[in-house]
Amino acid sequence: MCMTRPARGGKRTTGARMAQCGWIWIILPFWLAILTIPASGAEWGTIAIPRIQYGGGGDWYTDPTSMPNLLKAAAERFNLPTRPEHFPIRISDQALFTYPLLYLTGHGNVKFEDQEVNRLVTYLDNGGFLWIDDCYGIDKSIRRELRKLYPDKEPALLPADHPIYRTAYDLPQGLPKIHEHDGKPPQGYGIFSKGRLVIFYTYETDIGDGLEDEGVHPENTPEKREEAMKMALNILFYALSQ
Amino acid sequence: MSTLLKLLGFETAPIQTIESVRLTLGWGWAGLILALLVAVPAFLLTYRVEDKPCSRPLFFTLTGLRLAFVAGLLVLLAGLKCTVSGWIPQKNKLAVVIDTSRSMSIREEGVSRLERVQEALGKGRLIETLERRTGITPALFSFAGSVAPLSRDDVASFGLAPDGPQTNLTRAVTDITNHLGEGNLLGVILLTDGAHNTGDNPLDALARHRTPLYFLGTGRTGQVSDLAISLERPPSVGYLNSLVRLRGELRIQRIASNTIPITITKDGAPFSSIDVTASPGQSRIPFAINIPCDTEGAFTFAVSVPKFPGELTHENNETGFLLKVVKERLKILMLAGSPGWDQTFIRSAARSDPNAHVYGWTRVGENRWLPTVDSELKAAVPAPVLTDLEDADVVILAGMPASVLEPHAELLLGRIEAGKTGLLILPGLSGYADLGYAGSKLKTLFPVELAGEAWVGTPCSLVLAARDTPYAFLRLLDDPIENQEFFASLPKLDGLFTYQARKSGAETLLSSTIERNGAAQPAFLTHRVGQGNVAMLCGGPLWPMGFTQVPTDRTIRPYTAFVMNTLKWLANRREDAQVTLELPSSRGFTGQPAVLRVWVSDTRRRPVDTAQVSAQMSTAGGEPVSLTFTATTEKGCYESTFIPAARGLHTITAKAVHQGSLLGEARGQLLVEVPTAEFDDPEVRTDLMSRLASSTGGAYRPVEARDALLEAIRPTPGKKQETKSFEARDSGLLLALLLALPLAEWIIRRKRGFS
């Protein structure tokens, strides 16, 4: 739009109007040229991590800022292309197969329907990765559901020298303790299928709490939050690199 | 017109009948008019008739003479040219061509097709009748795959045998018209069954021919019964503990049974069998069989169907192929500038093959690299150790900066040029020009020029560049159309890196739906670097394909098959020798040339261009044949052509000698079959012959109705169009006329007392 003002001392002429609008016609081609120049940097293969919206009554939506913060850190610290958003996905959703890494957390009961079990196994056996983070109280139900997924496989406790603790950052002590619940040590369990770690289950630590925005959990010191971030980045890098 | 041109000094011979005369100007008509528009007013302004009494007729005469001179001068300067077109009488020619391909041996009602031709030429006195009617002695030829001239004695004695392995109507007609000259060729009379089976489609290629084609069709329709089996590009190499897919086709022509058993033998011992059932009316039935490769070695497989009485031939009831099963240890080295899902999914696909071993280095930060050792991710270390480059079969480059690879450039280039390592280039996050490859010696590895690299962030689908692709790793589904549709239906790429130019010899395997300057941009390219294969994926991400579930009867999913077969093809398995033998296929056909190539390198794997390369080809019970190889334009590559004479397993031993010492020997095997293409479609192709005749202004008749066909040939006098051009400036008469104009003016002026 061309904003005009009446000329001083009289009626505006067309020529004067043209002269005042002229700068637009000079600048417009430059803007068009800039817009049509191919971007020098590519934007492809963007990493996004949805959280599983499961049944059973558990609060799948807890720690809403955890994944956006993790993806922001991956972009800032490691220059990875990410989409730092908090968004849910159902296992039955068609879009499930467009995300190679899924996040599952909450308190309370987790339940997968039979169709969801088949779909999730297909997803995992074809290259998908699931990170389960026990916010508190899903251990019993998630172990039951994991047996549905892989009846012949028990979650195995990963030792502190496992590479998942040494990808982006070295965590020589293994899984860090972020949030105290039952006084138990933090434990990282894995389920392997076809020679690959397909599920990583972090228990008795609550990494997601540590990833939340500053102040959401005042008891988490900056050091604790950094430890949680390092571990979360290690999980992301492990899933990307294994 | 001819007299006028002669008067002007222009000779129109040899044109006898002038059809048209055209005047043109070198300046163009517009140029002349513009020149006149300038010259005439200038003349009129400056023209003087002194101040003496001058009558109007005299004034107009003087002015007219001067104007005519100016205009004539300008016309000559403008390059007036006269172009004459006309006809030159020509002697007409006719050609009679006899099909001697193997399909002419097909017998109907107890008489072979070639015998029908013999009857037409002998008892029927076809040539003599043709001569009498047209007054032209026809040129005689025989043809199958190519054309050979015949003499009258050859035709009279009729020593022709139906032994041509293929029929190429397009080449036959083209060769004859080129040989005799199309302009004065009254027609080509073909005695054939029309069973064209090789070369360009004659309906497309011959429609533009001005020479009428007259067909005398030999044979009877609807009388042939035959059962044939053929294989489509049978596999030549299999990898231990994997499967190879054998595809083929059954052709059933008037065979009573609808269920046909296919029997496969391996080195003469029963191996497998399947029953193929034809639906009513179905004459071509595709089939596919998985062959497990559970033992290492070279095996001869025979694939056969039962022989029914009364069949056209039993030669096409059995076919075979050679399969070399190798113990594969595919070492894949993945070098990544940053972690990415594509790499994860390729590693995941590689895990499905017990012979594949993935090693790799992924950069996760400054001085932080994640190593993968034998498919297992290890803890991070400060710097990569690239010793695995020394024995990697395939290197996958995924955005690794050139500076990291530069110290190992010679090793990598040397191994790829020697064919010991293949390279798969995955797109980096920000392209390869930014990673320093444009100024690196490693740029030779890329199938594109890195200058002008640009990202186009438009989602695009993959397009299989050629439906009938020769690359097995692109054949994921048996049906070529379904296979092409499969690629088109794969999840879209987010975009592509586009490049201004492909390197010479680079080939697009998969293109995209993104267009630039009207051309589809390549998504997956390949090229050869020395003896090594390099493939480059220009867009991403690739991994969403990994989730695609395609209904297939294979035990291997297409995504995994695509990744693994591509990697194995890139690995370009060659024996660890200085002399390697390359066969176009493990199968050959009698009478059809097979081009053999031998690659020679010295102990440092450098190509040797001055070696003496020879080979011995031997068969069981046959005399060995010696072959001499000549150097090609490719470094260290020598070539020879072998035309097998007999069917059976041929063993080739090639050796290379350089400066008097033997560099090495290489062995290979070639299974030679009798070509059965002539019997693939044994019916007389009356439809094809009728259409060709109609499109060229000829005629089709069965050979028994030859007199009716000869009636259709009009012996019109031959003529040829000729064009000649004459420059007006070359005419002495025109020059004289032009000079006469100022002379006449001068005389008049002198007589009337003007200056």
Lowest mean pLDDT segment, chosen from A143-152, B499-508, B576-585: B576-585
Residue B14 has pLDDT above 80, yes or no: no
Mean pLDDT of A38-57: 78
User: B324 by DSSP, 3-state: which?
Assistant: strand
Whether residue B427 and residue A195 make contact (CB cut-off 8 A), yes or no, is no
The minimal CB distance from A237 to the residues B339, B431, B456 is found for B339
Query: CA B528, CA B570: separation in Å to the nearest integer?
Result: 10
* Interchain pair A238, B364: CB under 8 A: no
Which residues on chain A place their C-beta less than 8 Å from a C-beta of chain B?
38-47, 77-81, 97-98, 100, 122-123, 126-128, 161, 163, 166-168, 170, 194-196, 237-242
Rounded to a whole number, what is the distance in Å from the CA of B208 to chain A's nearest CA?
45
Please check whether residue A85 is in contact with residue A68, taking contact to mean a CB–CB distance below 8 angstroms: yes
Could you tell me which residues come within 8 angstroms of residue B489 by beta carbon, excluding any fewer than 6 positions away?
A: B461
Question: Quick one: which of B307, B225, B314 has its CA closest to B683?
Answer: B225
Look at residues A225, A229, A198, A207 and name the one whose alpha carbon lies nearest to residue A101. Answer: A198
Beta-bridged to residue B272, according to DSSP, are B264
- Separation CA B147–CA B100 (nearest Å): 10
Residues of B in contact with A237 (CB under 8 A): 339, 364, 370
Q: How would you class B704 by CB atoms within 10 Å of its CB: exposed for 0-12, middle for 13-18, buried for 19 or more?
A: middle
For the residues of B697-745, what is the DSSP string, one character each?
T-EEEEGGGHHHHHHH---PPEEEEEEEEEEGGG-HHHHHHHHHHHHHH
pLDDT of residue A15: 43
Give me the percent of chain A exceeding a pLDDT of 70: 82
CB contact under 8 A, A240 and B344: yes
A121: nearest CA in chain B? B547
Mean pLDDT computed over every residue of chain B: 85
> Quick one: pLDDT at residue B673?
84
- Residues B363 and A6: their CA atoms lie apart, in Å, by 63
Instruction: State the pLDDT confidence band at A18, using cuts at 50, 70 and 90.
Output: very low
Burial class (CB in 10 A: 0-12, 13-18, 19+), B184: middle
Taking the CA atoms of B731, B736, B737 and B738 in sequence, report the sign of the dihedral they define.
Answer: positive
Put simply, the answer to whether B338 touches A79 (Cβ < 8 Å) is yes
Query: B494–A45: do the CB atoms touch at under 8 Å?
Result: yes
Does B362 contact A239 at a Cβ distance shorter than 8 Å?
A: no
pLDDT digits (tens, 9 = 90+) for B157-175: 888 888 888 889 999 998 9
> Which of A202-216, B67-81, B355-369, B581-595 has the least mean pLDDT?
B581-595
Residue A23 scores a pLDDT above 70: no
B539 CB neighbours in chain A (<8 A) are 44
CA distance B453 to chain A (A): 9
Q: Which amino acid is at B579?
A: V
Complex prediction ipTM = 0.79
Contact by Cβ (8 Å): B438, B452: no
The confidence score (pLDDT) of residue B208 equals: 72
Whether residue B379 and residue A163 make contact (CB cut-off 8 A), yes or no, is yes
Question: Within 13 Å and on the Cβ side, how many CA atoms surround B577?
Answer: 17
Give the residue carrying structure tokens 């130019």. Answer: B501
Secondary-structure percent of chain A, ordered helix, strand, coil, rounded to 5: 40, 15, 45
CA A63 to chain CA mean position, Å: 12
> Does the pLDDT of residue A66 top 50, yes or no?
yes
Q: Say if CB A124 and CB A117 are below 8 A apart.
A: no
In tens, the pLDDT along B703-734 reads: 988 888 888 887 776 677 788 888 888 888 88
Give the CA count within 13 Å in the CB-facing half-sphere of B568: 24
Question: Where does residue B36 rank: exposed (0-12), middle (13-18), buried (19+ CB within 10 A)?
Answer: middle
The chain A residue lying nearest B433, using CA atoms, is: A40
Where does residue B462 fall: left (phi above 0), alpha (psi -120 to 50 degrees), or beta otherwise? beta
> What confidence tens digit (pLDDT) does each residue in B674-685 have?
888 888 778 888
Residues B186 and B180 sit within 8 Å (Cβ to Cβ): no
**For position B521, what pLDDT does the model report?**
92
CA–CA separation, B245 vs B238, rounded Å?
10
pLDDT of residue B616: 92
Amino acid at residue number B304: S
Point out the residue among B348, B364, B368 whose CB comes nearest to the CB of A127.
B348
Residue A84 above 90 pLDDT?
A: yes
B chain contacts of residue A170, beta-carbon cutoff 8 Å: 379-380
Cα–Cα distance measured from residue B489 to residue B548, given in angstroms and rounded to the nearest whole number: 10
Which of chain A's residues have a Cβ under 8 Å away from the Cβ of B378? 163
The sign one gets for the Cα dihedral A17, A18, A21, A23 is: negative
Rounded to the nearest integer, the mean pLDDT of chain A is: 83
CB–CB contact A242 B427 (8 Å) = no
> Quick one: B436 exposed, middle or buried, by C-beta within 10 A (0-12, 13-18, 19+)?
middle
Contact B370 A97 (CB under 8 A): no
**Using N-to-C axis directions, what is the helix angle for B56-77 and B732-752, rounded to 10°?**
150
Q: Residue A38: is its pLDDT beyond 50?
A: no
- Out of A38, A39, A127, closest to residue B543 by CB: A127
Higher pLDDT, A201 or A196: A201
Residues B206, B172 contacting (CB under 8 angstroms)? no
Helix (H) or strand (E) holding B7: helix B2-7
CA–CA gap between residue B600 and residue B610 (Å, rounded): 9
Q: What percentage of chain B exceeds 70 in pLDDT?
A: 95
Q: Strands of B327-449 (E only): list them.
A: 330-336, 356-365, 368-373, 376-377, 394-398, 422-426
Distance CA A107, CA A105 (A): 7
Q: How confident is the model at residue A162 (pLDDT cuts 50, 70, 90)?
A: very high
Dist. CA B323–CA B264, nearest whole Å: 13
Average pLDDT over residues B511-528: 90
CA quadruple B716, B717, B720, B723: dihedral, nearest 10: -110
Helices assigned H by DSSP within B251-352: 341-351
Question: In terms of pLDDT, which residue wins out, B401 or B545?
Answer: B401
Distance from CA of B557 to the nearest CA of A (A): 10
User: Which string of DSSP letters, residue by residue, matches B657-678?
Assistant: EETTEEEEEEEEEEEEE---GG
pLDDT (0 to 100) of residue A109 = 94
Sheet with B422-426, strands from edge to edge, namely B376-377, B368-373, B356-365, B330-336, B394-398, B422-426, B532-537, B519-529, B507-516, B462-464
Contact B343/A241, CB-based, under 8 Å? yes
Nearest to B342 among A38, A45, A166 (CB): A45
Q: Do B370 and A237 touch (CB under 8 A)?
A: yes
> Chain A residues with CB inside 8 Å of B377's CB?
163, 167, 238, 241-242
Q: Confidence band (pLDDT; 50, 70, 90) for B583?
A: confident
Q: Which band of pLDDT confidence, cut at 50, 70 and 90, is reported for residue B448? A: very high
As a whole number, mean pLDDT of residues B462-472 equals: 81
pLDDT tens column, B619-638: 877 788 999 999 988 888 89
Quick check: helix, strand or coil at residue B22?
strand
CB-CB under 8 Å, B495 with A44? yes
Q: What backbone phi and psi angles, to 5 degrees, belong to B458?
A: -105, 125
Give the strand pairing for B594-600 and B495-498.
unpaired
Task: Using an 8 Å CB-CB cutoff, list chain A residues near B351.
Answer: 194-196
Say if residues B598 and B582 touch (Cβ distance below 8 Å).
Answer: yes
> Which residues from chain B sit within 8 angstroms of residue A239, using beta carbons?
344
Closest by alpha carbon to A196, among A128, A148, A143, A150?
A128
Confidence of residue A7 (pLDDT cuts 50, 70, 90): very low
Which of B495, B543, B547 is opposite residue A42, by nearest beta carbon?
A: B495
For A166-191, what is the mean pLDDT?
92
Shortest distance between the Cα of A41 and any Cα of chain B, in A, equals: 5
Do the chains contact at B380 and A170, CB–CB below 8 Å? yes
Mean pLDDT of A136-156: 94
Per mean pLDDT, which range of B49-53, B80-84, B142-146, B654-658 is the poorest?
Answer: B49-53
Report field, pTM of the whole predicted structure over 0.80 = no
User: How, if at all, do strands B422-426 and B394-398 pair?
Assistant: parallel
Q: Which of B334, B343, B344 to mutate to test the interface with A (most CBs of A within 10 A)?
A: B344
Residues of chain A found within 8 Å of residue B544, distances taken between Cβ atoms: 97-98
Residue B288's closest CA among B535, B555, B106?
Answer: B555
Given a cut of 70, is residue A210 above it in pLDDT?
yes
Tokens for B54, please give them: 């001058």
The angle at the Cα of B678, spanning B675 to B680, to the nearest 5 degrees, equals: 95
What tokens were used for B378?
A: 């290890």
H or E stretch covering A28: helix A14-36
End-to-end CA distance of chain B: 41
Rounded to 10 deg, the angle between the B113-121 and B126-134 helix axes is 50
Residues from chain A that touch B380, judged by Cβ atoms under 8 A, are 166-168, 170
Picking from B197, B287, B275, the residue whose alpha carbon sits closest to that of residue B234 is B287
At position B31, the amino acid (one-letter code) is G
Q: How far apart are CA B154 and CA B157, in angstroms?
A: 5
- Residue A16's CB: how many other CB atoms inside 10 A? 14
CB contact under 8 A, B541 and A241: no
Query: What percent of chain B has pLDDT above 90?
Result: 27
Highest mean pLDDT among A131-135, B13-17, B542-546: A131-135
Binning pLDDT at 50, 70 and 90, where does residue B554 land? very low
The more confidently predicted of residues B56 and B168 is: B168
E strands of B530-611, at which residues? Answer: 532-537, 539-540, 579-582, 587-589, 594-600
For β-strands B625-628 and B139-143, DSSP reports them as unpaired
Q: Under an 8 A CB cutoff, do A39 and B543 touch? A: no
Nearest to A44 among B494, B546, B547 (CB): B494
Q: Pick the residue with more confidence: B425 or B519?
A: B425
* A contacts of B352 (beta carbons < 8 Å): 194
CB-CB neighbours of B131 under 10 Å? 14
A97–B547 CB contact, under 8 Å: yes
Task: Name which of A39, A43, A168 is nearest B365 (Cβ-Cβ).
Answer: A168
Instruction: State how far the alpha carbon of A5 is from the alpha carbons of A12, A26, A27, A193, B233, in Å.
Output: 9, 20, 20, 73, 78
CB contact at 8 A, B158 and B118: yes
